């Protein structure tokens, strides 16, 4: 940030300034909440047909502008184009799923006459929007994580004020323009740019009915302290694990775990951080995995060929670098890796790690994958669970018994069989156990949180 009035958005690849955007002051934040509050009635009474149409139109406009938006995202976040494009494609679907849910949102009749005192009464409930939503998002998916808050909010009939990460605000500012073009009334979705202060003004304002947060545990804890008696959902981090059984096709497992561990330099909440490989295949996996990691094309995120680029900031890169050095000092072996150059931390694979090293027990959120051999299926499931987090886990096996035991025992929000924990599509319920969060996203599930049930009882007898 350059001064008190502007947020300087920097391209993590070359350090150039992409754009300077005005930083919201307290008055701007309060005004955005006021505008949202003023839209409550309009949004609550907007027909499902209209809400669905706005969301579908947003989806279409995003699709038309895929390359432009992907480039903007690549510039502000350092995300390679192949992944930035993929993210736009996912947001196109997120809006489409939310449009479908807007049309499908409904209540239910309740047989009140099942109760002795309910005879002659007709009962049903409807879903009503909770009110103004405050959304706070991280830097790593500047479009699709924003979509996962804005699209269900509009589907539910809730106005929303968003504070994106100050590192990557440009994509959400573009999205707000697109949604206006798609027909969303002024004030129903505002973006306020800034850091923790802006977040605090937003989350402490009494007009906010619900806070939906995606980011790290320390920030979630700070928000929980001020949230009081309001709805809150938290989508937090993890140290996701993959298990590779003795009987699997290693070529497939290697390929998926390279992308799962190193896409966007591991700055993904479900990035593969721990890979447990059956001892009988460990040496073979280690060799093939290390070779494949070394073959990734490193370069400018804006180049089509780039597979691996910089981390988002100097601070992030320095932290990951120091954790790797600490692990090596504590006895880990570096199979591939090397010296950090500014924000570029080389893709790093470690072995001989122990569960108390930071690279194992904390969320690395960087390009580091730990390899560990295992002998026993039940014991490895316990090892995966030996974590403060529980977002998703990947299990590669051909054994039905092993599959079923993994599904039963793994204490995570999503068990992904024969793929990596980083797998996600946007209509599934997504979220974590333990410190990985509270609540689930995916339009249908977010809408449940963004609406309240209103019960109606009609005394038909009088």
Catalytic residue positions? Answer: 235, 269
Q: Strand runs (DSSP E) across 267-307, as ranges?
A: 274-278
**66-77 helix and 81-104 helix, angle to the nearest 10 degrees:** 120
Residue from 219, 336, 362, 403 touching ligand NAD (CB under 6 A): that is: 219
Residue 12 touching ligand NAD (CB under 6 A)? no
Q: 96-131 in b/e burial notation, b at 16+ Cβ within 10 A? A: bbbbbbbbebeeeebebeeeeeeeebbbebebebbb
Residue from 48, 122, 222, 417 touching ligand NAD (CB under 6 A): that is: 222
Rounded CA-CA distance 223/205 in Å is 12
Residue 437 touching ligand NAD (CB under 6 A)? yes
Quick one: which segment of 213-221, 253-261, 287-295, 342-350 binds ligand NAD (CB under 6 A)? Answer: 213-221
Q: 283-300 in b/e burial notation, b at 16+ Cβ within 10 A? A: eebbebbbebbeebeebb
Q: Which two tokens stand for residue 47?
A: 């027909």
Residue from 235, 307, 321, 449 touching ligand NAD (CB under 6 A): that is: 235
Cβ 305 to ligand NAD shortest distance, Å: 26
- Give the list of residues 6+ apart from residue 329 with CB closer than 8 angstroms, or none: none
Residue 140 touching ligand NAD (CB under 6 A)? yes
* Terminal Cα distance for the chain, rounded: 66
Cβ 203 to ligand NAD shortest distance, Å: 5
Q: Which is nearer to ligand NAD, 52 or 169 (CB)?
A: 169
Rounded CA-CA distance 168/81 in Å is 15
Quick one: which segment of 14-22, 111-119, 139-147, 325-333 binds ligand NAD (CB under 6 A)? Answer: 139-147
Residue from 57, 59, 144, 165 touching ligand NAD (CB under 6 A): that is: 165
Q: Which is nearer to ligand NAD, 156 or 270 (CB)?
A: 270
Q: Which two tokens stand for residue 264?
A: 């966007």
Quick one: which segment of 61-69, 195-203, 292-300, 351-359 binds ligand NAD (CB under 6 A)? Answer: 195-203
Q: Which is nearer to ligand NAD, 163 or 340 (CB)?
A: 163
Residue 416 touching ligand NAD (CB under 6 A)? no
Q: What does the longest C-alpha to C-alpha distance in the chain come to?
A: 81
Cβ 34 to ligand NAD shortest distance, Å: 19
Residue 301 touching ligand NAD (CB under 6 A)? no
Rounded CA-CA distance 168/138 in Å is 8
Residue 107 touching ligand NAD (CB under 6 A)? no
Q: Which is nearer to ligand NAD, 112 or 270 (CB)?
A: 270
Q: Which two tokens stand for residue 123?
A: 């009962």
Helix or strand holding residue 441 (H, E): none
Q: Which is nearer to ligand NAD, 141 or 282 (CB)?
A: 141
Phi, psi of 433 (to 5 degrees): -95, 175
Residue 152 touching ligand NAD (CB under 6 A)? no
Q: Which is nearer to ligand NAD, 237 or 309 (CB)?
A: 237
Residue 37 touching ligand NAD (CB under 6 A)? no
Cβ 319 to ligand NAD shortest distance, Å: 11
Rounded CA-CA distance 213/142 in Å is 14
Rounded CA-CA distance 163/137 in Å is 7
Residue from 72, 136, 292, 327 touching ligand NAD (CB under 6 A): that is: 136
Q: Which of 133, 109, 134, 137 is nearest to 123 (CA)?
A: 109
DSSP 152-181: HHHHHT--EEEE--TTS-HHHHHHHHHHHH
Bridge-based pairing state of the strands 241-244 and 274-278: parallel
Cβ 62 to ligand NAD shortest distance, Å: 19
Q: Which is nearer to ligand NAD, 107 or 216 (CB)?
A: 216
Cβ 189 to ligand NAD shortest distance, Å: 16
Report the half-sphere exposure of 406 (CA within 13 A, side-chain side). Answer: 26
Residue 393 touching ligand NAD (CB under 6 A)? no
Rounded CA-CA distance 18/2 in Å is 13
Specify whether the CB–CB gap between 312 and 267 falls below 8 A: yes
Residue 163 touching ligand NAD (CB under 6 A)? yes
Quick one: which segment of 44-52, 117-125, 193-201, 254-262 binds ligand NAD (CB under 6 A)? Answer: 193-201
Q: Which of 50, 149, 47 is nearest to 91 (CA)?
A: 149
275-294 residues in contact with ligand NAD (CB under 6 A) are none
Quick one: which segment of 45-53, 90-98, 232-240, 324-332 binds ligand NAD (CB under 6 A)? Answer: 232-240
Residue from 166, 266, 310, 346 touching ligand NAD (CB under 6 A): that is: 166
Residue 275's beta-bridge partner residues?
A: 242, 371
Residues 292, 295, 297, 299: what is their CA dihedral angle, to the nearest 10 degrees? 110
Residue 195 touching ligand NAD (CB under 6 A)? yes
Q: Which is nearer to ligand NAD, 29 or 136 (CB)?
A: 136
- Which chain residues interact with ligand NAD by CB under 6 A? 136-141, 145, 163, 165-166, 195-196, 199-200, 203, 214-216, 219, 222-223, 235-237, 269, 363, 365, 437
């Amino acid at each position: 940030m350059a001064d008190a009035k502007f947020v300087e958005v920097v391209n993590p690849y070359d350090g150039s300034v992409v754009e300077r955007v005005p930083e919201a002051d307290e008055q701007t934040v309060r005004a955005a909440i006021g505008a949202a509050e003023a839209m409550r009635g309009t949004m609550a009474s907007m027909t499902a047909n209209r809400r669905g149409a706005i969301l579908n139109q947003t989806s279409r406009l995003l699709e038309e502008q895929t390359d432009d938006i992907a480039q903007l995202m690549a510039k502000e976040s350092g995300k390679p184009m192949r992944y930035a494009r993929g993210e736009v494609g996912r947001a196109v679907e997120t809006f489409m799923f939310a449009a479908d849910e807007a049309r499908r949102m409904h209540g239910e009749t309740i047989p009140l006459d099942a109760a002795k005192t309910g005879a002659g009464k007709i009962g049903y409930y409807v879903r009503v929007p909770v009110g103004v939503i405050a959304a706070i998002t991280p830097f790593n998916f500047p479009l699709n994580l924003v979509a996962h808050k804005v699209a269900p909010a509009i589907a539910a009939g809730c106005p929303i004020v968003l504070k994106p990460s100050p590192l990557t605000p440009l994509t959400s500012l573009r999205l707000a323009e697109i949604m206006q073009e798609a027909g969303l009334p002024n004030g129903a979705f505002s973006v306020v740019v800034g850091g923790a202060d802006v977040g605090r003004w937003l989350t402490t304002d009494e007009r906010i009915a619900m806070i939906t947060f995606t980011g790290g545990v320390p920030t979630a804890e700070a928000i929980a302290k001020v949230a009081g008696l309001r709805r809150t959902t938290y989508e937090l981090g993890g140290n996701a694990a993959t298990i590779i059984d003795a009987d699997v096709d290693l070529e497939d497992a290697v390929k998926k775990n390279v992308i799962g561990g190193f896409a966007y330099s591991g700055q993904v909440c479900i990035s593969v951080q721990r890979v447990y490989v059956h001892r009988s295949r460990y040496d073979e996996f280690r060799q093939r995995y290390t070779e494949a990691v070394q073959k990734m094309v490193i370069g400018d995120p804006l180049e089509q060929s780039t597979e691996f680029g910089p981390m988002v900031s100097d601070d992030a890169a320095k932290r990951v670098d120091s954790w790797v050095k600490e692990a090596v000092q504590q006895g880990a072996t570096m199979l591939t890796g090397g010296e950090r150059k500014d924000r570029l931390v080389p893709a790093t694979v470690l072995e001989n790690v122990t569960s108390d090293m930071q690279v194992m027990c904390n969320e690395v959120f960087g390009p580091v994958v730990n390899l560990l051999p295992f002998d026993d299926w039940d014991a490895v499931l316990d090892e995966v669970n030996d974590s403060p987090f529980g977002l998703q886990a990947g299990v590669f096996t051909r054994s039905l018994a092993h599959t079923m035991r993994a599904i039963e025992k793994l204490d995570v929000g999503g068990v992904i069989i024969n793929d990596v924990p980083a797998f996600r599509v946007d209509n599934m319920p997504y979220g974590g156990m333990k410190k990985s969060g509270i609540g689930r996203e995916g339009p249908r599930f977010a809408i449940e949180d963004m609406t309240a049930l209103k019960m109606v009882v009609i005394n038909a007898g009088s």
